[in-house]
């Protein structure tokens, strides 16, 4: 007889049972993230057939072209969570301002920040995509959260994770007690536990970076990436380059196999490209929980003091020793 698989729902109910005072609200929130993942992956499976490829003609708050799938994925998140009673505020890459739940609706105690679709340049060519989420707790009962209440350091996240729409759909998350991964079994529409307490190797052999930007990088970053290409048996170099254009997919690869992802600052864009609150922070929380590191090059991502909802940050993330070595080059110590 085959072993009974552990579904996401059963896993969270079991984990919740070991937490005193847990109300079940958090478990429901994660289940709803899973639901968003099912909705989006169903659309993606048919994307070439149902006129959802291409752009909407709009530009988002980041000044980037909005793909139809960006808008659709954002709508799915909002529809699932608005009025759900699980959250009191939502903030997204695709929305200039957060949404606060109307006062006459049930208020959850969590605030959800998300990148509804990560890797948008991959939408039209059947390449991997993802979504990233960060969960903060809101403790005040006297008023609804404001935008300022959502602008918190990464260390204050109570949970974070991502959905990966690759050859299979996965939900990977942490609540600060290690990292768990679930794979969507399409036949039964359930997420089944597939990765228990993921540990990222201390060192890898793969680097992911958009090297087209090489000439815009700082000297230290350039030297680091140059060094990865020099043959040296003892340190496993040269490293292999793997860059998908989807941060989630690249981070997922290195979470399982080790290595480093870099989206550094550039001469005319020192703040880098990626967003702190709903890209870098949640992935940093996951990777740290798996034993890895996430850095701006000079500081721990999770300790960066955020000033703006859509703030950008340079991101260097992955295996502990690889990130430390990149920091040494960037800081001129190597």
Sign of CA pseudo-dihedral 46, 52, 54, 59: negative
Neighbours of 230 (CB within 10 A): 10
Segment 144 to 203, residues that bind ligand AHG, using CB under 6 A: none
With beta carbons less than 8 A apart as the criterion, state whether 38 and 189 touch: yes
With beta carbons less than 8 A apart as the criterion, state whether 147 and 172 touch: no
- Decide if residue 56 touches ligand AHG (CB under 6 A): no
Residue in 7, 41, 107, 120 binding ligand AHG, rule: CB under 6 A: 120
Per-residue x/- track, 238-277, ligand AHG (CB under 6 A): -------xxx-------------------------x----
- Decide if residue 115 touches ligand AHG (CB under 6 A): yes
Segment 23 to 52, residues that bind ligand AHG, using CB under 6 A: none
Q: What b/e string do you get for 270-280 counting C-beta neighbours within 10 Å, with b at 16 or more?
A: eebbbbbbbbb
Residue in 72, 89, 118, 157 binding Mn ion, rule: CB under 5 A: 118
Nearest to 156 by CA among 134, 172, 173, 178: 134
Q: What's the min distance (Å) between Cβ of 168 and ligand AHG?
A: 19
Beta carbon nearer to Mn ion, 27 or 134: 134
Beta carbon nearer to Mn ion, 79 or 83: 79
Q: What's the min distance (Å) between Cβ of 139 and ligand AHG?
A: 30
- The residue assigned the tokens 């703030």 is 311
Segment 68 to 97, residues that bind Mn ion, using CB under 5 A: 93
Sheet holding 110-118, edge to edge: 99-100, 87-92, 110-118, 129-137, 159-165, 169-174, 179-185, 190-195
For residue 43, the partner it binds in Mn ion, ligand AHG, none, with Cβ less than 5 to 8 A by kind, is: none
Residue in 28, 121, 194, 311 binding ligand AHG, rule: CB under 6 A: 121
Site size toward ligand AHG, by CB under 6 A: 12
Neighbours of 71 (CB within 10 A): 18
Q: How far apart are CA 292 and CA 179, in angstroms?
A: 11
Please give the residue ranges that form the binding site for ligand AHG (CB under 6 A): 64, 93, 115, 118-121, 210, 245-247, 273
């Amino acid at each position: 007889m085959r072993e009974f698989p552990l579904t996401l729902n059963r896993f969270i109910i079991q984990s919740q049972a070991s937490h005193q005072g847990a109300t079940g609200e958090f478990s429901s929130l994660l289940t709803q993230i899973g639901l968003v993942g099912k909705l989006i992956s169903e659309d993606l499976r048919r994307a070439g057939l149902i006129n959802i490829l291409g752009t909407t003609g709009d530009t988002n708050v980041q000044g980037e072209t909005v793909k139809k799938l960006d808008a659709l994925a954002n709508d799915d998140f909002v529809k699932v969570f608005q009025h759900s009673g699980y959250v009191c505020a939502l903030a997204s890459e695709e929305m200039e301002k957060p949404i606060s739940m109307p006062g006459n609706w049930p208020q959850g105690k969590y605030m959800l920040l998300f990148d509804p679709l990560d890797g948008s340049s991959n939408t039209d060519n059947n390449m991997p995509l993802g979504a990233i989420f960060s969960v903060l707790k809101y403790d005040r009962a006297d008023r609804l959260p404001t935008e300022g209440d959502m602008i918190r350091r990464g260390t204050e996240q109570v949970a974070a994770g991502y959905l990966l729409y690759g050859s299979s759909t996965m939900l990977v998350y942490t609540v600060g007690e290690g990292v768990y991964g679930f794979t969507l079994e399409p036949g039964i529409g359930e997420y089944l536990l597939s990765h228990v307490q993921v540990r990222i190797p201390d060192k890898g052999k793969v680097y992911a970076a958009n090297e087209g930007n090489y000439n815009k990088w700082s000297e230290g970053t350039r030297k680091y990436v140059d060094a990865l290409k020099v043959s040296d048996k003892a340190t496993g170099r040269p490293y292999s380059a793997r860059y998908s254009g989807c941060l989630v997919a690249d981070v997922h690869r290195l979470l399982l196999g080790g290595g480093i992802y870099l989206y550094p600052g550039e001469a005319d864009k020192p703040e880098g490209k990626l967003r702190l609150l709903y890209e870098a922070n949640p992935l940093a929380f996951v990777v740290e929980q798996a034993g890895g590191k996430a850095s701006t090059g000079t500081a721990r991502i999770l300790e960066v003091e955020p000033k703006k909802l859509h703030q950008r940050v340079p991101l260097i993330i992955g295996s502990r020793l690889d990130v430390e070595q990149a920091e040494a080059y960037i800081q001129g110590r190597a």
